[in-house]
Amino acid sequence: MDDLLTDFLTETQEGLGALDAALVRLERAPEDMATLSEVFRIVHTIKGTCGFLGLTRMEGVAHAAENVLGRYRDGTLRATQAGISVILGAIDCIRGIVAALEGTGTEPEGDDASLIAALDAVAGGDAIAPPPVVAPIAVTAPAAEAEPPPARAPAAMVPAAPQAAPPATEPESAGANAPPQTIRVTVEVLEGLMMLVSELVLTRNQLLQLSRNGADNAFAVPLQRLSHITSDLQEGVMKTRMQPIGNAWAKLPRLVRDLGVELGKKIELEMRGAETELDRQVLELIKDPLTHMVRNSADHGLETPEQRVAAGKPEAGRIMLNASHEGGHIIIEIADDGRGLNAERIRQKVLAQGLATEAELAAMPEREIQRFIFRAGFSTAAAVTAVSGRGVGMDVVKTNMERIGGTIEVRSKEGRGTAFIVKIPLTLAIVSALIVEAGGERFAIPQIGVVELVRVGGEGAPQLERIKDSAVLRLRDRLLPLVNLAGLLQLESSATEESAFVIVTQVGAHVFGIIVDRVFDTEEIVVKPVAPILRHVTMFSGNTILGDGSVIMILDPNGIARATGVGAESGEGEAERDGKRQVIAHRSDQRTALLLFRAGDATPKAVPLGLVARLEDVERARIENAGGRPLVQYRGKLMPLVPMSGHWDQAMAPERQPVLVFSDGDRTMGLMVDEILDVVEEVMTIDGAGERPGFLGTTVIGGKVTEMLDTAWWLRQAGEDWFGGAEPAAGAGRRILLVEDSAFFRNLVVPAIGAAGYAVTAVPDAEEALRLREAGASFDAVISDIAMPGMDGFALAHALRESGPWRSLPLIALTGCSDPADIERGRAAGFTDYVAKFDRAALLDSLRQCLSAPVAG
């Protein structure tokens, strides 16, 4: 196949993938000129390049579609569902031609006259033109679309020089908005680079191990430099293989839209965590399972609008996709708020197919019965349709998950909905892990799964207790269930429970501890997948080679939880969680975890633990001075250090300097203190109005007067403008709702304005705020960020001002979007005031003024 045609086909496939989602967005928002321009540019580019390559059939279809889009763009026609359906039919036709071109290298014969006529009719103003039915294109290789020929190597995108192929583009699309320059590199090349980097990391670890064991430090500096370069190289190579999961979701909006039309249902698709990255090969393998599960939710899960209204549900059903990292794994949740799984119908099908006896079913928990839906040929559909009912979809899901060593769980409540939770283990990655020992064997546990590390036994240290035969740890007035790793793995442990370490980890909403004998150090490890013979051992997620050449297993906290029953029955449906979410809201009158420390004088000081990213002990030799200010190289960047005493003298400093690290996005700052004391949970009742700069006031913790840190003040001392701001102001004792997606700023704002006397409730998104409104919660004012995922602050303001009991509440925007256009848009949306993030004095002043003169209803 000609290289120019190969490049064209690859780029056209990418453009077609983007078109589906863009056209669905355009159907919902016909006035969205940005989306309309994007669609027009892609179709125009396809048409222009078709003419250049002599692909007359594809050019004719693309030209007719471009005419319709041109009428939409110049405003002479308004985009309608019928018109979008015709254009989608044209896109499907082009996709079929592209598939045939990939298989044969030549454009297939065919007659598109009816499709072009329908497009011309829409362009001429015939708004009632029916969507055309595009027949499959008959070619000699009909499977080309599903399975590309092996001669064509897959490719990945990496930044580099521009390609030689000059596809036709619109003149106005060039310039500042031009796409990044790229070249195409085969995946085999990237695989080779990844393997070389993995070997380099192992060699680096071996050299560092030799350096630590030897007395000669001549190689210490070069090894440190080698370590930094290796880390940067490893990160760069891994980025070439990693792709956002949103790439696998690109076709789902079109799929859901078409299913809604076909099934006569109103369906809303919500996608969260689209930026979560995972390996390209894994991404390819999960595309089919995701498609099957979404189709299953739309057909089986969601009811018709009439059935939903009769059941007291909104007319439009909701399908939610959520991706996140948890415990070193990627967790993907596909949930709907539909009818849920009918356990009785599943039992009847199981008995009818002879998969189990009545006695066996009677002994099974409901969750095990629900898992029969993953059996090949099993379906609860009353009839086979074009969408589902043959019993192959969920079997494909399970098979594809097992191919990459993943697992899938189902959680369902009849009448409330169903959620599928897919867990994909690490296959080939380099992660930071904590090396521990249990029963004389070493293990690695990914640091992402470690909440904290606790030494038990000894005077003043937490003690292990027993409830019946189960060990528990009383940690800050909370009982944590414990798992003895050596006992779980049937190893002989030499350590006693009075001198052990507990690794506190979290799985979902459950926190538990893993007892180990020793803790060594953190180390970057190359993760290798578990061999198939050990895949049934759920406690391990992989294995690795340490710097001394030892092969050790990597622990999986999720698998340990399942093996021991900790949190095994913790799952609940999405609808059930939605009903409980207001309980999770962050309130200023709740007990808050506080970090106690000493700095400057003998008076203890405290800061909310949620604000502190890490606690570090920095060697004095690593701290440098630049312009009279202390700095330290921290994770590849320079981090400013702020001494609480006001100055720092290297000659008088201790050998190791305790530092509280505050981090939000790319900004990082270290606060130098004298001593870390403890972590406690207390209700923050702050006296005083922060008369001393840097402190909100005082409180009593453990019977001692303690100063509460004004974190915002100290962050500004680092020299970087995190948010602006100044002095605190007096409070008014009212109820305030804070809507802020950043956990860092929630932890910052709640105590800051809570110290002024306000009772603050904080939620992570606009949807949570609206749920509180529907639940009947009462507030005196609402403070909201503007830039939030999903529903942003402008949309929230419109929703609150439109109707409901909060219609007249003062609504304050607390945001970094301070352009005049943003402010004008915010006031038009219904915001009472606009305050820069985070100007505490201005915010408190705005609250005082707004509450004294509330907005009229």
Residue 113: its H or E element: helix 113-123
Q: Which residue has the higher pLDDT, 537 or 257?
A: 257
| Band of pLDDT at residue 467, cut at 50, 70 and 90 | low
Quick check: 363 pLDDT over 80?
Answer: no
Q: In Å, how far are 771, 784, 802, 833 from 799, measured between CA atoms?
A: 12, 13, 5, 17
Q: Which residue has the higher pLDDT, 438 or 185?
A: 438
Quick check: 567 pLDDT over 80?
Answer: no
13-17, 80-84, 312-316, 752-756: least confident range: 752-756
Rounded to a whole number of angstroms, the CA Rg of the chain reads: 30
Q: In Å, how far are 426, 674, 729, 841 from 711, measured between CA atoms?
A: 37, 17, 16, 14
Determine the Cα–Cα distance for residues 559 and 574; give it in Å rounded to an integer.
22
Burial of 49 (C-beta count, 10 Å sphere; 0-12/13-18/19+): buried
- Give the per-residue pLDDT at 217: 67
Report whether 631 contacts 660 (CB < 8 A): no
For residue 453, the SS3 value is strand
HEC profile of 664-709: ECCEEEEEECCEEEEEEEEECCCECCCCCCCEEEEEEECCEEEEEE
Quick check: 702 pLDDT over 50?
Answer: yes
Q: What is the largest CA-CA distance in the chain?
A: 87
Q: Which of 448, 459, 420, 638 is nearest to 525 (CA)?
A: 448
Global confidence as pTM: 0.45
Q: Which of 118, 96, 120 is nearest to 108 (CA)?
A: 96
Q: Which of 700, 707, 585, 704 is nearest to 644 (CA)?
A: 707
- Give the per-residue pLDDT at 53: 75
Report whether 338 contacts 313 (CB < 8 A): no
For residue 49, the SS3 value is helix
Residue 367: its H or E element: helix 366-370
Quick check: 472 pLDDT over 80?
Answer: no
Q: Which of 322, 530, 319, 292 is nearest to 406 (CA)?
A: 530
Determine the Cα–Cα distance for residues 748 and 766; give it in Å rounded to an integer.
19
Residues contacting residue 553 through CB under 8 Å, at least 6 positions apart = 443, 444, 540, 542, 543
| Band of pLDDT at residue 225, cut at 50, 70 and 90 | confident
- Give the per-residue pLDDT at 297: 86
Determine the Cα–Cα distance for residues 856 and 143; give it in Å rounded to an integer.
64
- Give the per-residue pLDDT at 578: 38
* 738: β partners: 762, 783
Determine the Cα–Cα distance for residues 561 and 569; give it in Å rounded to an integer.
10
End-to-end CA distance of the chain: 68
| pLDDT tens by residue, 268-283 | 888 888 888 777 767 7
- Give the per-residue pLDDT at 312: 86
| pLDDT tens by residue, 138-164 | 444 333 333 333 333 344 433 333 333
Amino acid 565 reads G
| pLDDT tens by residue, 193-215 | 877 887 787 788 778 777 776 65
Which pair of tokens denotes residue 472? 């528990």
Residues contacting residue 345 through CB under 8 Å, at least 6 positions apart = 380
| Band of pLDDT at residue 838, cut at 50, 70 and 90 | low
| Band of pLDDT at residue 729, cut at 50, 70 and 90 | very low
Region 835-842: what's the mean pLDDT?
A: 75
Region 431-447: what's the mean pLDDT?
A: 84
Quick check: 361 pLDDT over 70?
Answer: yes
Determine the Cα–Cα distance for residues 809 and 318; give it in Å rounded to an integer.
29
Region 794-807: what's the mean pLDDT?
A: 85
Q: In Å, how far are 25, 33, 254 from 22, measured between CA atoms?
A: 5, 11, 9
- Give the per-residue pLDDT at 167: 39
Quick check: 327 pLDDT over 60?
Answer: no
- Give the per-residue pLDDT at 39: 85
| Band of pLDDT at residue 373, cut at 50, 70 and 90 | confident
Residue 801: its H or E element: helix 793-802
Determine the Cα–Cα distance for residues 720 and 629; give it in Å rounded to an integer.
13
Region 595-617: what's the mean pLDDT?
A: 81
Amino acid 92 reads D
All domains of the chain in start order, with CATH = 3-149 (1.20.120.160), 246-424 (3.30.565.10), 429-564 (2.40.50.180), 586-716 (2.40.50.180), 735-852 (3.40.50.2300)
Q: What is the mean pLDDT of the chain?
A: 75
- Give the per-residue pLDDT at 159: 37
- Give the per-residue pLDDT at 154: 40
Determine the Cα–Cα distance for residues 609 and 593; give it in Å rounded to an integer.
6
Share of the chain above pLDDT 90, in %: 0
Backbone φ, ψ for residue 393 (5° rounding): -60, -55
233-247, 272-286, 322-336, 572-586: least confident range: 572-586
838: cis peptide before it, omega within 30°?
yes
Region 56-76: what's the mean pLDDT?
A: 86
Backbone φ, ψ for residue 170 (5° rounding): -70, 140
120-134, 170-184, 239-253, 538-552: least confident range: 170-184
- Give the per-residue pLDDT at 668: 83
| pLDDT tens by residue, 175-194 | 444 455 666 677 778 777 87
Region 78-89: what's the mean pLDDT?
A: 85
**Beta strands 704-709; 605-608: pairing state:** parallel
Q: Which of 587-596, 747-756, 798-807 has the highest mean pLDDT?
A: 798-807
Quick check: 830 pLDDT over 60?
Answer: yes
Report whether 46 contacts 94 (CB < 8 A): yes
Strand ordering across the sheet containing 637-643: 612-619, 656-664, 667-672, 637-643, 629-634, 624-626
- Give the per-residue pLDDT at 205: 78
Region 791-806: what's the mean pLDDT?
A: 85
Q: Which residue has the higher pLDDT, 765 or 129?
A: 765
Residues contacting residue 512 through CB under 8 Å, at least 6 positions apart = 480, 481, 482, 483, 504, 505, 506, 561, 566, 567
- Give the per-residue pLDDT at 326: 67
Q: Which residue has the higher pLDDT, 463 or 283?
A: 283
Report whether 292 contacts 248 (CB < 8 A): no
